[in-house]
Structures are given as C-alpha cells and as structure tokens.
Amino acid sequence: MDQHARKPSARSLHGLDGLNLLMADVRDGVGPYLAVFLKGDQHWQAGPIGIAMAAGSMAAALCQIPAGLLVDSLRIKRAMVAIAGLLVAAGCLLIAVRPDLPTVIGAQVMLGAASAVIPPALAALSLGLVGRRMLPARISRNEGFNHAGNFLAAGLAGTLGQFIGYRWIFYLVCGFALASAVVITLINPREVDDDLARGSEDAKDAEGRAVAMPIGAVLGRRNLRIFLIAVVLFHFGNAAMLPLAGQMLAQTHPGEDAMALSACIIAAQLVMVGVAWMVGRAMQAGIGRKTIFLVALAVLPVRGVLFTLTTSPVGIVGIQLLDGVAAGIFGVISVIIASDLMRGTGRFNLAQGLTSLAVGIGAGLSNLVSGYIVQAFGYHAGFLSLAAIALCALLFFAGWMPETGDGPDTKGDHADLTAPAPAAV
C-alpha cells in the first residue's frame, strides 16, 4: 500500500492514543519509585539500590537487539505489547511481595526484558498505521499521550505512596498493564502495513517482496554508530539524576519523599506534553533534527549542577522541569532520527532496539556508577559527575553528528537511505 495514501480508522488511531497513555507507566516499570521504596521503606544503602536499578537497565539493554529483530520479523505486534505489559505486572508484584535483594534483582531483570519490546513495537505500529510522511506528527502525538499518562500515574502513585503505602505504587502499575492489554484490541491488525512498519517499503526484490538490509551492513553505518554513542552518553548523564534526587529527599525530608518525587514527575510530564508538541511543530517548520537534539543535550549539565544547590523539595521540583525539556525532546527526536537513518533498509525496529539498547547501557552505567560515587563522596559529587558526562555528550553530538533530515546540510549515510537494500540474510 502506498504509505502516502494510508487512512487508518479512527478506532485504530484512538486505540494507539490509549495505548500510549496507559503504557507510559508500564513500559518504564516503577522507575525512580523503586529507589524511594528501597531507601525509605526498606532502608537499603545507595550501593545495593544502584545494583538493583542497574539490573533492570542492563537486562533491557541485552534484550534490545533481539526485541527489535522480533518486532521486525513477527506480525503479532499487538500480542507482543500485551504480553510484555503482563510480564511487567508480574515483576512489580514480585517486588511488592518480597523486597529482598535476590528477588528484586530477578524482578528487575524480568521488567527490563519485558519493557525492551514495548517501545519498538509501539513505534512499528505507528509507522505501519500512518506511514512515513505522517510519522513525525504521529510520534509527537504518541509522546504527548505518553507524558499525559506519566502525569496521571505520578499523581496516583504519589497519593497512594503518601497515604496508603509504597507497595500500592507497584499494584498501580499492574492495573495499567491490564488496562493496556484490553485497549490494544482497538487497533485493527489489518490496517498495519508490516512492510512499512519495518521500514522496508522502498526495498523490494525482483518479485516485489520486501527485503531487509543485512544486520552487519546496518551496524556499519557511521552515522548510526555516532547517534547510538550520543544516546548512551545522554542517558549516562541523565538517568540517575531523578533517582538520586529521590534518595536525597528520602534522607533529608523523610515522610515527604513519595509526594515530592511524584511532584517532580508530574511537573516534568506537564512540560514534556508541551515540548513533544513543539518538537513536532519545529520539524514541520523545517528545523533540523540535530539542532533540536542539541537543545536537549544542553539542558542536562545545567540540571546536574542545579541539583547540588538545594535539598528543598520545592527547589528539586523546579529543577526537574528541565528534565521535561530534555526528555520531551528525546522521546520524539530519537524515533525520527532512527527512522531517517533506516529509511529503505527494512531495519527500522532493529534501530529502535539499538536505540533502546543504548538507552539501557547509559541508564545502567548512570545508576551503577553514580550510586557508588554517592556512597563514597556524597550526593554533590554524584550530580557533578553526571553533569560532566552530559557535557561530553553535548560536545560529541555537536562535533560528529550530521543532520539526518531532508535539509541542505544532510550528508553521510543519508545519501543512500532511499537506495534499494541488499537481500535479507
């Protein structure tokens, strides 16, 4: 089907809206609430908390490439999302029922493995439904619903954690997972073009069948490697900042930490909704992908330094607004850059998996390294270390990554993005 003529039903599009709303909390598990639960309720040290946080990130990292290849290969994308969500629910129940180190690490591994499937599957469903021309607007809309879902979940989680108990946060994620498994049935699988969903609409063999570029050729693309390194550095400098802020709040303001952390997330998510919309509008206005991503990278060092200046819950919530800018941009622009780089290769979801792998590696390193820096030298040293890494990310991306869109400064790999791909292996 011609991607420019795609007209998915309103039912499928609303199903995708609902899925992004509900999956917002499911695909990230319990996120920074785990650190608050383990610190404030279970009284763990920062080092073991870092190990537990890193376990999920590393498990997700190891599963990203298999997950991307599965999404590229299988046509049951809706079922994959539903099953992954239910596994997240099971992992959260394990943590709530038995919060000892082996169980938490095992559950985190389960959460990481299951959550690896969700982002590429949602991106594939989006591309397969609306086509490449409408993908920037669709991803911008997806991220808007995603951040609205995080806003809703954070408000509920803060209320439950403050007035009923931390464990109810884990039960909340289970409820979102079950609801998402129902909402996904609204998407009509016959309206999802599987060739388009994997980015192989321009790559056909002599008999007109879609083919995919060999994995080695994909991994050999210079611009893809540069982008993935930048993603690792972005999350290395960013991922642990909010969990560290949560631990600091649990230590300095016991009893207020769950509500303050929820306020941080709510404030950031409100900003992300607007930022996601603005990124879509900026791309429509012709602003380059590189320029937009550089804005996100520039915010991170400033945020890290500011966290060293206050332990006030109000101040930390205010600083967290900057995360709304950085994460709001990344959520949209990373998918679009991956789509640009993989055009015509049949490996769009592999690129999504590779991007998530880079996210997982960066997040795992961030939590693991910063946890032990904090344990040895304190929270200020932890935040400043993360800020320095974020500054390296900014300089690296500015100096090495070309523009990937259709503007005049596009160069490098983009020159062959629309060429027919070699036969699949």
pLDDT along the chain (425 residues), means of 10: 65 92 73 76 80 82 84 84 87 87 89 86 89 85 85 79 80 87 89 80 52 82 94 95 85 72 79 90 90 96 94 88 92 91 84 84 89 90 95 96 67 38 33
Neighbours of 126 (CB within 10 A): 23
pTM of the predicted protein model = 0.75
Amino acid at 103: T
DSSP label at residue 412: G
Helix (H, G, I), strand (E, B) or coil at 408: coil
Residue at token pair 């032990």? 372
DSSP label at residue 255: T
Residue among 99, 60, 55, 115 at smallest CA distance from 368: 55
Determine the longest span between alpha carbons in the chain, in angstroms. Answer: 67
Three state DSSP letters for 117-172 = CHHHHHHHHHHHHHCCCCHHHHHHHHHHHHHHHHHHHHHHHHHHHHHCCCHHHHHH
Residue among 232, 298, 33 at smallest CA distance from 150: 33
CA pair distance 127, 121, nearest whole angstrom: 10
The whole-number pLDDT of residue 275 equals 92
Note whether 249 and 21 are within 8 A (CB). Answer: no
CA pair distance 19, 29, nearest whole angstrom: 15
CA pair distance 328, 277, nearest whole angstrom: 9
In sequence order, which residues have a C-beta less than 8 Å from that of residue 201 and are 6 or more positions away? 3, 132, 193, 195, 210, 344
In sequence order, which residues have a C-beta less than 8 Å from that of residue 285 and are 6 or more positions away? none
Write the DSSP assignment of 274-296 as a string of letters. Answer: HHHHHHHHHHHTT--HHHHHHHH
| Domain segments of the chain as ranges | 9-188+214-405
> How is residue 37 written in tokens?
């639960």
CA pair distance 412, 403, nearest whole angstrom: 9
Burial class, 119, CB count within 10 angstroms (exposed 0-12 / middle 13-18 / buried 19+): buried
The whole-number pLDDT of residue 210 equals 57
The whole-number pLDDT of residue 255 equals 66
Q: Which CATH superfamily is domain 9-188+214-405 in?
A: MFS general substrate transporter like domains (1.20.1250.20)
**Helix, strand and coil in the chain, % to nearest 5:** 80, 0, 20
Residue at token pair 């993908």? 135
The whole-number pLDDT of residue 206 equals 46
**CA 361 vs CA 228, 237, 256, 336, 385: distances in Å:** 10, 12, 31, 21, 17
The whole-number pLDDT of residue 159 equals 81
CA pair distance 313, 350, nearest whole angstrom: 40
Apex 263 CA angle, 237 and 252, nearest 5: 75
